[in-house]
Amino acid sequence: MRWSVLAILFLCCPLALKPQAIPQVPGSMQTVLGEMNKRAKILAKGHKELRKHAQTIDYATFWLKQRLREDDPVEYRLQLTIDDYLLERALANPDEASRIMKGVAEDVALKSRDCSMFGHGRRVPVEIKTVRRGVEESGWQVFYRWVPPENLPVQVLELSFPNPSSPSTWDLPVGMYDIYIEKKDASGTLQKSNAMVIPVGIENKVSWQLQIP
């Protein structure tokens, strides 16, 4: 059930901000995008190396803000809410500002670019094929998790595609995702592939092959 994602996104934050400050439900998108823009400008003030990231965030959030829809996916809105939280964290932890701003800028740029091509907040059809020595093999469960900007320490519990391979299909909001597969063999031993990071967005449909270990 798609709404279950609300209960599984948490941040293990060893720095200044307290864990209870971490968003677990999406905020108002008008407010979130507006705050992201303000925070990015504050962070870039007096720091030339951060200006390009602030400019990217400024353009992307402005674009997205003009195209919000009431039916935007919950996961998508929560991802943007976490982006805003990370910028807030950057204000409290200046040493992390460059890394955080770069990651957030890349995430919102991907989302705004996809929005300009296909519309705002869409779910992208994703197809995963599992292949052994060039031949598709069925019965593998596909797991995924959203990769936070710059892979910052936002712990996201893996979810699974609803049907096993091959192919296995699901619709995901625009973003970067870790994908891996697993299956028990005849002896009951769990086989698991390495995770690979795939971009979801900018194409009408995403299709990837995962090699069976």
Mean pLDDT, range 36-51, rounded to an integer: 92
Mean pLDDT, range 124-143, rounded to an integer: 93
Strands 9-11 and 154-156: antiparallel
For residues 82 and 148, is the Cβ–Cβ distance under 8 A?
yes
Lowest-confidence segment of 12-16, 148-152, 179-183 by average pLDDT = 12-16
203 and 101 share a domain? no
42 and 105 share a domain? yes
Q: What is the count of structural domains for the chain?
A: 2
142 and 114 share a domain? no
Picking from 73, 97, 118, the residue at the C-terminal end of a domain is: 118
11 and 113 share a domain? yes
- pLDDT category, 71, cuts 50, 70, 90? confident
pLDDT value of position 36: 95
Buried b (16+ CB within 10 A) or exposed e, 58-96: bebbebbbeeeeeebbebbbbbbbbbbbbbbbbeeeeeb
28 and 71 share a domain? yes
pLDDT value of position 188: 86
Q: Which amino acid is at 177?
A: Y
pLDDT digits (tens, 9 = 90+) for 149-160: 766 666 667 899
CA angle centred on 49, ends 44 and 55, rounded to 5° = 55
Q: Which domain holds residue 145?
A: 123-211
74 and 138 share a domain? no
pLDDT value of position 11: 37
pLDDT value of position 1: 40
What kind and span of H or E run contains 30? helix 29-44
18 and 102 share a domain? yes
pLDDT value of position 27: 84
Domain CATH code at residue 201: 2.60.40
pLDDT value of position 108: 95
Separation between Cα atoms, residue 3 and residue 26, nearest integer Å: 11
pLDDT digits (tens, 9 = 90+) for 85-98: 999 989 998 888 99
